[in-house]
Amino acid sequence: MTLERNVARLFRLNDENWMKHANPWSVWTRYSVLPLIVLAFWSRVWIGWWCLIPGIASLLWLFLNPVFFPKPRSTRNWASKAVLGERVYLNRDRVDIPGIHKTPLYAILNAISSVGMGIAIWAVVTYSVWGAVLGVALAYLGKSWYLDRMVWLYEMMKSEHSEYRGWDY
């Protein structure tokens, strides 16, 4: 079982919910989560323990977002293809992916994103504005590049596998 499959289970991503998450609104609004979390916990300077309310709300949005929106009217857009590519990549232990996608690049991009998250957390603790900006930027750089590679993977695999082709509408 892949790590990604375990993460998908945590976010309740079954067949129906994967398609909901493929809604571009889900993808683009999910980009709002990290800055909201940083701002929420940074606000402890101004509002004290009340910062937990926007902080917890942001974390809840992180978990509810993938299933909040309806299925998209079309999956022929970058955001939907990125999510569907993630689903293809998650399924690589059952359906083989092309050799060009069996690369450490995906782990490197996830590591860049994770380092960015770590820097953002450190920045919130130490009130470093530049650390927060750098951390969020690194997290988004890694994640966006990773998602772009997932679009490429999906585009390659949909022509080779009937189930994946059925996601294209």
The C-alpha atoms of residue 78 and residue 61 are separated, in whole angstroms, by 22
pLDDT of residue 16: 87
Sequence-distant (≥ 6) Cβ neighbours of residue 46 within 8 angstroms: none
Please list the ranges in the chain whose pLDDT falls under 70: 1-2
Alpha carbons 20 and 65: distance in angstroms, whole number: 9
Report whether 129 contacts 98 (CB < 8 A).
Answer: no
Neighbouring C-beta atoms of residue 112, cutoff 10 Å: 18
This prediction's pTM: 0.88
pLDDT of 111:
97
Q: What are the residue ranges spanned by the domains of the chain?
A: 3-165
